[in-house]
Amino acid sequence: MSDQNNFSERVWQIIAAIPAGKVTTYGDVAQLAGSPRAARQVGGVLRRLPEGSKLPWFRVINRHGRISLQGDDLFRQRDALEAEGIEVSDAGEIELEKYRWQI
DNA sequence: CATTTGACAAACA
DNA sequence: GTGTTTGCCAAAT
């Protein structure tokens, strides 16, 4: 397989590999994608996901163990995580040490 | 091709 | 602990 995959495609692959009940950070995904300083672009990729995508985008949070989204999107991500058994506070905080995905 | 935009992160105050 | 500034870089315009 080609190693010239786009950044987006690598991000998709990595996120698809996150097991249910676990979370990871934008920075970690960027690092696994081969661009350790491209954490923002990971968010950019997820933001631009096609509607219908089955990618578990909700398993990606920021380095402070917090959901980066706001408004309705925040609630949707929180509900999706809680549905997998992940405890999320009303403020959108998650215990990273407990739920963090490591290879 | 040039400029703008940001689902981030680290450094700083 | 919080708020601000700076660096970063792929994608969109």
- pLDDT tens for A12-34 read 999 999 999 999 999 999 999 99
Nearest CA-CA partner of A36 in A25, A23, A27: A27
Q: How far is the CA of A48 from the C1' of B4 (A)?
A: 17
Q: Please count the structural domains in chain A.
A: 1
In a domain, A48, yes or no: yes
Domain that holds residue A45: 7-99
What CATH number is associated with residue A58?
1.10.10.10
pLDDT (tens digit per residue) in A54-98:
999 999 999 999 999 999 999 999 999 999 999 999 999 999 999
In a domain, A2, yes or no: no
In a domain, A13, yes or no: yes
User: Residue A42 CB closer than 7 angstroms to strand B?
Assistant: yes
User: Residue A8 CB closer than 7 angstroms to strand B?
Assistant: no
User: What value does the mean pLDDT take over residues A36-61?
Assistant: 95
pLDDT (tens digit per residue) in A64-76:
999 999 999 999 9
CA distance A48 to A63: 21
The closest nt to A38, taking CA to C1', is C9
Identify the pLDDT of residue A5. Answer: 72
